[in-house]
Structure 1
Amino acid sequence: MANSAQARKRARQNDKQRMHNASLRSTLRTAIKKVIKAVDAGDKAAAQSVYKESVSVIDSIADKKIIHKNKAARHKSRLSSAIKAMAA
């Protein structure tokens, strides 16, 4: 347990920030799942529109350093290739 007032405040701030980051991470996962669901449904037009929305979510979370920029790029690349593979 934190002993000083400064340490107690820092613990409170860390808890609040962790909850906020968890919420953003959940938003990221939901955005990715929406694209995967659209790809599985087989509707390429719907998948592309959902992908465009998801890219902005992925990029904004990477900008806030919730995930690394390379991880964001990897997610976008894999989702994009899944959409492109639908035509084949």
Structure 2
Amino acid sequence: MPNIKSAIKRVKTSEKRRALNASQKSALRTAVKSADQAIAGTDVEAAKAALIEATKKLDKAVTKGLIHKNAASRKKSRLAKRLNALSAQG
């Protein structure tokens, strides 16, 4: 445990940020996974809604600095590509 006041504060703030980042990253992964499952299903409307939600979470994560913008773009692109293939099928 640090003795210097500023170091003590840094430990507290970094722990708070770590917990917040972890929860936001977890929510992001959940949204992407649910979009993935919705696209794997047959309901196109539910898949579109899930994709919109996942896209919002990905964009928000980029602005918060949780993930790199290219990683978010890649995930969005792959999800959209699979959704378009599903739409073309049915």
CA RMSD of superposed structures (Å): 1.1
The count of residues paired between Structure 1 and Structure 2 equals: 88
Q: CA deviation at 1:3?
A: 2.4
How does 1:1-88 map onto structure 2 within 5 Å? 1-86=1-86, 87-88=88-89
Structure 1: gaps spanning 5 or more residues? none
TM-score normalised by structure 1 residue count: 0.91
Q: 2:80 and 2:37 mapped to 1: Cα distance? A: 13
Structure 2: gaps spanning 5 or more residues? none
- Letter in structure 2 aligned against 1:8: I
Q: 2:72 and 2:24 mapped to 1: Cα distance? A: 13
- Letter in structure 1 aligned against 2:76: K
The percent identity for this pair of structures is: 40
TM-score normalised by structure 2 residue count: 0.90
